[in-house]
Amino acid sequence: MQISSVSRALLVLIVAASSCYAQSEPPSAPTPQEAPGAPPPQTSYTEPHFPPENPADFTAAAPSKAEVEAFVKASWGYDTNRVWQVHAIEKTDAPGVSRVTVLAAERQAPEQIATLVFYVTPDGHHLIAQDTVLDFGPRPFEKTYRVLQQRADGASRGATAKQFELVEFADFQCPHCKEAQPIAEKLVQDFPQAHYVFENFPLVNIHPEAYKAAVWSACVEQQGGEEAFFRYANSIFDAQNDLAGQGADQALRNAATSAGADPDKVAACADSPAGKAAVDASLRLGNDLKVNETPTLFIDGRPMPMMAVPYEQLKLIIEYQFSLDK
């Protein structure tokens, strides 16, 4: 897995999993009045006290406060514990570029108010946060969602319809991708309405055997179909340690055999330009979408570092995004 400024910005803007948004006080030790095994006392939350809005802080003609609210709601609305305030929309010295300030807090720690600042471009379709450009608007993931519906054609499971898209970009030599596969299995079971796609995204600079393993997977699929692909994927993830050593070729052959494919035919396919074409197309798609860490999961176009949040929160995000795209 590679961590980049893009993923950090996504975590802050979209997942909001950084400590400034997720801090909470550790549970206190039981008091003498609390009997062992007694249910915990009910926790009462108070709303954060944001500073009052000042009309002088809203000097830009665009975006409107409603547009910023719609963007933040699309990004954070899955979390009923998070509250925010659009605090300022100001003109800058750059013509048409607006500076937006949003205050955010968690209800269980209302005193910890974080400040998020980003800049909206003159076309109103993009924002700049730190060194990252992201889509802006009431449906900020729409463009990516449509691209994935058209171009994500890796091995798939689940629903055949593409109304609800879960697209995973993964690398067979990536340890975090191996750890994520039980999560993928649970998602397929918990969201039968979703079209789940596995896109090969080998990080060739750090995983020298990942591209070859990906090409073998594509050739296994060509020979045996999607079910064979996923059998191969499970097998090669199980043998991931062997990919880093002298047993890499044998691990590929074993995985192909376990998938019901002929390893000699798969090897011949993997050496041909046609065998590499599917993986190269998947790499182009990932690069076009600025994927640079694995595993990355796109939820109807919403990018998520797949291991960034607990499974129940990931489910909550998926349910929320799917509700927006009905």
Contact 184, 315 (CB under 8 A): no
Among 138, 170, 195, where does a domain finish?
A: 138
For 77, the domain range is 5-19+51-138
Fill in the amino acid letter for 126. H
225 inside domain: yes
**Of 203, 202, 191, 258, the residue nearest 230 (C-alpha):** 258
302 inside domain: yes
106 inside domain: yes
Same domain, 155 and 233: yes
Distance CA(91)–CA(117), nearest Å, equals 13
Same domain, 221 and 166: yes
Contact 305, 312 (CB under 8 A): no
Contact 228, 259 (CB under 8 A): yes
Total tally of structural domains belonging to the chain: 2
Same domain, 148 and 231: yes
95 inside domain: yes
pLDDT band at 292 (very low <50, low <70, confident <90, very high): confident
Bridge-partner residues for 134, per DSSP? 127
33 inside domain: no
Same domain, 302 and 167: yes
250 inside domain: yes
Residue spans of alpha helices (H) in the chain? 5-10, 19-22, 65-76, 142-151, 175-190, 210-224, 226-238, 240-243, 248-258, 263-270, 273-288, 311-324
Same domain, 114 and 260: no
Same domain, 134 and 148: no
pLDDT in tens, 246-270: 789 999 999 999 999 999 999 999 9
27 inside domain: no
pLDDT in tens, 117-167: 999 999 999 999 988 899 999 999 999 999 999 999 999 999 999 999 999
pLDDT band at 25 (very low <50, low <70, confident <90, very high): very low
Same domain, 158 and 90: no
Burial class, 27, CB count within 10 angstroms (exposed 0-12 / middle 13-18 / buried 19+): exposed
